[in-house]
Each structure stands twice: as C-alpha cells, then as structure tokens.
Amino acid sequence: MDIFEKCMRFQDARVAREEGYYPYFVPFTGGDGTVVEHNGRKIIMLGSNNYLGLTNHPRLIEAAEKALKKYGTGRTGSRFLNGTIDIHVEFEKELAEFVGKKAALVFSTGYLVNLGVISTLVGKNDVVVIDRYDHASIVDGCLLSRGQILRFRHNDLDDLKRVLDSIPENKGILVVVDGIFSMEGDIAKLPEIVDVVKKRKGARLMVDDAHSIGVLGPNGDGTSAHFGLTSDVDLIMGTFSKSFAAVGGFIAGDEYVVDYLKHHTRSFIFTASLPPSVVASTQEALKIIKGEPERRKHLWNISNYMREEFKKLGFDTSTSETPIIPIVIGDSMKTFAFWKRLFEEGVYTNPVVAPAVPENSARLRTSYIATHTFDQMNFVLEKFEKVGKELGVIS
C-alpha cells in the first residue's frame, strides 16, 4: 500500500476551494493588527490573539532591531549547547518573578512547552489528568508521555474528583488545565480545582496560561494570580505568540523541577533556541504588560461590550467570559457560509468545526485586541446582524 494514498484521497480542501468557501491560509498583505489588508481591501481583524495590540509596537520593533545588530539573526543551535545567550537567562529570571515562581525556562514555541514538559514528567507509572477541552498541545504532550491519560468533563469538579479517586495510590499524578479555554472563552474554576487536587496526596497541578498571560491577573500575570492561588499551582505555562506578540513559550515552577526539565526535555534540548530578536522583543513586551494596565482595561471593556451586544442580537456566545467570544452556529456548512459572508462584508473571524470542537457545535471564534475601537466594534455588530438574519442564525 502506498503511504501517500491517504493524501490522494483527501479532497475536502480542493472541493472547498472550488466552491469558494475555503476559509484557511488567507494571505494578508498588511495592516496594523486591528485592520488587515487582503487583495487591496481593508478588513477588521477579529481572529487574532494579539490581545494587547503589541505586534507593531515601536518599542518591540526597536528592541528586536538592536538585538539583531548585536547578536545576529539566530544562534544556530540548541539552548543546551551553543544556543544560550545572556538575554535568554535574564528573561527567564524576569518571567519567573512575573508569575511568582522560583525559576522559568524559555522554549522556542508554546506547543513545544506542553509537548515536552508533560511527556518528560509523566512516566509509565504515572497518570495525567486533563480537562476534555484542553488545548491540542496538552493532548499531544499526554500522548507522547508513557503514562495513562484520563479526562474529566469540562470544568466539572465532581467529575475531576471521580477521576482522581479512581487512580491507585501508587501512581504519580499530573493534572493539567487551561487557564482560559481557547474555544469557549471561559476560565478554569481554579479555586475548586486546587481544592480537589490538593486533597489527593502527591498530585501536582499545571496551568496553561497561553491565553491568560497579559489578560488575567492584577498585573496581567495569569490565572493563578487572578485567583490569588500562585503558590498552590505547581507549574505555570505561557506563550509569547499572544499577548507578547511574537513566538515562543515558557514553563515556570520550583527551581529543582525546572532544572530537571532543562536537562531532560527533548523538545527543549533538541531544537534551536529562540532567536535573540524575539527574546528582546518579548522582554520589551513584558515591560509594557506590567507598565500599561490601561491596555488590559480597554481590552476588557471592548470584550464585555461585544459579548453583551451579541447576546442582545440573539447570538449564542456559549460560556464566554473573556476576550475570546465564540458565536456558536452548530452546523459546519452554515458556519463556513457565515464566515464567507462576513469576510465579504469586511470582517475576519475564525471558523471552527469538529474535531476542534464537539460535533454540532461549529462556531465562529472571535477575539479582541486592546487597540480595537468602539466604532470598529459597532461596524462589526452591524455586519453580524446583517449576515445572521440573512442566514437565519438570528431572527
């Protein structure tokens, strides 16, 4: 059997392109973050994770340019060998202090953090317990581990307790949850989760703050800080591809745990280190996150306004309570049609269908930026109402 046969059978994308509703890999040619350009048209961006609007900030660009001139374009090797420079070490100290942990380790992508940390810590005699709505990178880290994988119903504390009670006493346990869930836009019930996990002797808790850093917490310092539970969470993971406006990720925790990960995590040891320009720009982003809380305040004002207005129009926003607001449509083809019509009207969203979300819960995932204006949002609402009525999604 030809291993490429599956590739030849795959026709979904071709058919979607031919019929004009293919929504992926749209090439943009410019824009400032809230507005992008496509084929000469200006489109309001509602599909970005650029929560604080820093992707084009002059301070980040200047920091990256200085690092390029000082260090060059890359390190041509892994952190383990020749790839570590002084600003890697400085930034790790800054990140650890920011999230309230003793040590941190920077990875080249957020995906590699979850892939590596989970698969390194969870061995064949261990169990990893995850929320059913956890991000794919968490799931992949579990699959790469040699441990048993158990899932509990989304944000269901009774089910989490049931799962933990089913695990034999001689097993090591790592519980992993998202801080903000990327498709629902809701927040992990961390106080209750901490209470359940800590009742199980030896169980450890990891929180994926990919969508929470810069958004939640008194200083943008994430879900644990938001609930005042930093000391009760063993590991905090974050990415640089969202509020930090770049690429990369980190894990933070006790020094002895981070030191173990530094010497055993394959996705850290066997990949090239984060380029100096990216480290420098993310360092600068951290200064802005801490020093400009007004960005976070405006982000929440915009997000809360949109959620309430969507509800008034009759849209289903699921359990959203953050700057991620899904518009649940249900049927996949209607979701693609909705995406296309909005795009034609000048609004970009992200269509999400199974298996990324449960069957019959296809949706348009919208997300908001601290540099969005209320005028832009009112334009968006007008287009959503127009297309929603046209397609029979709202009355």
Active site residues: 182, 211, 242
Strands 350-352 and 347-348: unpaired
User: 172-178 and 30-31 as β-strands: parallel, antiparallel, unpaired?
Assistant: unpaired
Find out whether 225 and 233 touch, Cβ atoms under 8 Å: no
Residue 17, token pair as written in the block: 């392109």
Listing from the earlier edge strand, what are the strands of the sheet with 41-45? Answer: 30-31, 35-38, 41-45, 347-348
Pairing of strands 30-31, 35-38: antiparallel
CA 278 to chain centre: 18
29: tokens are 């040619």
Q: Are 38 and 227 in contact (CB under 8 A)?
A: no
- With b for 16 or more beta-carbon neighbours within 10 A and e for fewer, the 130-155 pattern comes to bbebbbebbbebbebbebbebbbebb
